[in-house]
Amino acid sequence: MSREVRLHEVANARSGDKGNRLNIALVCRDPQHYAALAAQVTAERVAQVFAARKPTRVVRYDLPKLAAFNFVLDNVLEGGVNASLGLDGHGKSLSFLLLDMPIIIG
Amino acid sequence: MAARVFIGAGAGFAGDRSDAGGPVADALAAADGLRFLIYETLAERTLALCQLERRKDPARGYSPALERMLTPVLARCLADNIKVIGNFGAANPLAAARRIGAFAKSLGLRAPRIAVIEGDDLSGRLSAAEFAAREVDGTTLAEARDVISANVYLGAGPIAQALDQGADIVVTGRVADSALALGPLLHAFHWRADDWDRLAAGTLAGHLLECGAQVTGGYFADPGYKDVPGLAEVGYPIAEVDDDGSMTITKPAGSGGVVDRLTVTEQLLYEIHDPSAYLAPDVVLDLSAVEVAELGKDRVRVTGARGKPAPDTLKATVCVEGGVLGEAEISYAGPNAAARAQLAAGIIVERLRQRAPALRVHVDAIGATSILGSSERPPDLRAAQSDIRLRFAAQSADSAQVTLLLDEVEALYCAGPAGGAGVRRHLTPRLASASCLIDRRYATPRVTMIGGAA
């Protein structure tokens, strides 16, 4: 039976930064959820989640052998760790913004 | 040729724990094979600050972490023939090597043979304008006049050469973090410089190790979802690498933390962009076919790294003056705290608009909007609780403008809303950094040996 959950219930995420570019690795805790995430956690939806930070480009790379995805978001770190006026110039907490996304799993 | 190589990580960044390397060195001492302990301690900012320090005193300019990192391991490593490789040379690897030599002597240890790797420092080799012309993904250098530091990421070759010459300790400045592990593997297995798949595997081993505990349960725990036993005493990682490039990631027996499919997979993709093209000085690493398999408790096998020929250019990091960052905070608590905080934020924005119109003032409400908000979106305190800490930040080349903001926040004590409390203010000099792509001919690695028995 399918149900709606937050990504946090079924997946891990880890943020990394390079300058003003953020990547978020999203890893299925159970590889059986890979197809559901592939269909629903699209680059377009991730761009919507981060709309307040105005990403200029969002790309998703698929890694089926790892049951994982890598999202790369350009220009979302307010200049990055050496320029941001915010507290989290690395974007380390932003993986949890992604994990708040609702998805439907079987 | 070595049957198996053991590479442990003692630190993953400049601010890392200084006691982490001890248990790793102990575990390596018991391992049957060639053993290496690597230290990554060189943030972009660290290197620039070290360059400034070297300008003031030619005997300094190495990582401030050097001594506290080596204290718990140096005797063990020299006694058990565990080679130490670290980028704690920063802006002055030669001075770092001399410091280590003196330190070993003060501990009554044998004189180590120390290799110094230089040639990453590009300051003075290219002008600010020449760097600006090579900048990628930005225009940070466009208006810069003075370059504080400019360092090209060297590869693993000079590290392998130093080990071939019998170094006990290899001190580098800027090298690719992954080269700290690939170097020992080139030394141990004599991999050819165009054996791309093996070079990719060694780069992958370095990538998994270079952030220390991030592969053994650090930057991972999420209680109830991702539980990590013994995180307070998390063990730092060890990679066991074979000549075919396959590797097992593990950690010292009895240490805290966890190594499993999930910790390894998260770190595998950390700071990666296109997983089929992770650029390193010695090879382009393709992660698309990598597989991760749990062999047993805290033992994960990683296979399938593929390599493509090394890129034509090398990456360099260039740091320039970044002005001054000012931050000031004030709290409001109790009934109607949100309305008082909102009023205070409005007062600061209005007064600065009049008095420093060029200054962009960033406002956070800590706990409500400080992390997941955005500069583009003013704080909305309606959802906030009755304990609100406002944070104001601004940056400028003109420190008087930034100081004005801090003064205005402090003045809220008497002239702002009721109950404003706990002002803290800081001015921090900032460094701006940029990445450049540099022709390989500007990288001039050289290895110098000091100390030890000739």
**Per-residue pLDDT at B371:** 72
CA distance B6 to chain A (A): 25
Top-ranked range on mean pLDDT: pick from A50-59, A79-88, B134-143, B383-392: A50-59
Contact B391 A78 (CB under 8 A): no
- Strand A68-74 and strand A21-28: the pairing is antiparallel
Contacts of B432 in chain A (CB under 8 A): 82-83
Contact B374 A82 (CB under 8 A): no
- Mutation target for B interface from A57, A59, A66: give the one with most B CBs within 10 A: A66
Tens of pLDDT, residues B108-119: 999 999 999 999
Answer positive or negative: Cα dihedral of B287, B289, B290, B292.
positive
Which of B220, B309, B228 is CA-nearest to residue B263?
B220
Helix H, strand E, coil C: the string for B102-148 is: HHHHHCCCCCCCEEEEECCECECCECHHHHHHCEECCCCCCCCCCEE
Give the separation between CA B158 and CA B10, rounded to whole angstroms. Answer: 21
Give the separation between CA A30 and CA A9, rounded to whole angstroms. Answer: 11
Tens of pLDDT, residues B76-110: 999 999 999 999 999 999 999 999 999 999 999 99
In this prediction, residue B2 has a pLDDT band, given cuts at 50, 70 and 90, of low
What is the 8-class DSSP label of residue B442? Answer: G
CA distance A16 to chain B (A): 4
Give the separation between CA A4 and CA A102, rounded to whole angstroms. Answer: 7
Q: What pTM value is reported for the model?
A: 0.95
Contacts of A49 in chain B (CB under 8 A): none
Give the separation between CA B48 and CA B454, rounded to whole angstroms. Answer: 34
Q: How large is the average pLDDT for residues B185-213?
A: 98
Domain boundaries of chain A, sorted by first residue: 3-77+89-100
Task: Point out the residue among A12, A72, A92 whose CB comes nearest to the CB of B273.
Answer: A72
Task: Point out the residue among A8, A70, A85 whose CB comes nearest to the CB of B225.
Answer: A8
Answer for the pair B270, B206: CB distance below 8 angstroms, yes or no: no
Per-residue pLDDT at B8 exceeds 50: yes
Task: Decide yes or no: CATH 3.30.1360 for domain A3-77+89-100.
Answer: yes
Helices within chain A (DSSP H only): 34-40, 43-49, 94-98
Tens of pLDDT, residues B314-327: 999 999 999 999 99
* Domain ranges in chain B with CATH number 3.30.70.100: 318-435
Instruction: Tell me which fold the domain B318-435 belongs to.
Output: Alpha-Beta Plaits (3.30.70)
Contact A25 B272 (CB under 8 A): yes
Contact A14 B372 (CB under 8 A): no
Per-residue pLDDT at B365 exceeds 60: yes
Helix axis angle for B196-209 and B179-189, nearest 10°, is 130
**Cα Rg of chain B (Å, integer):** 25
Q: Looking at the DSSP assignment, which residues form a beta bridge with residue B239? A: B7, B249
B427 token code pair: 């001015």
Name the average pLDDT for chain A: 95
Contacts of B325 in chain A (CB under 8 A): 85
Per-residue pLDDT at B260 exceeds 50: yes
Task: Point out the residue among B262, B271, B393 whose CB comes nearest to the CB of A16.
Answer: B271
DSSP-based helix, strand, coil % in chain A, nearest 5: 30, 35, 35
Per-residue pLDDT at B454 exceeds 50: no
Q: C-alpha dihedral over B276, B281, B282, B283, to 10 degrees?
A: 10
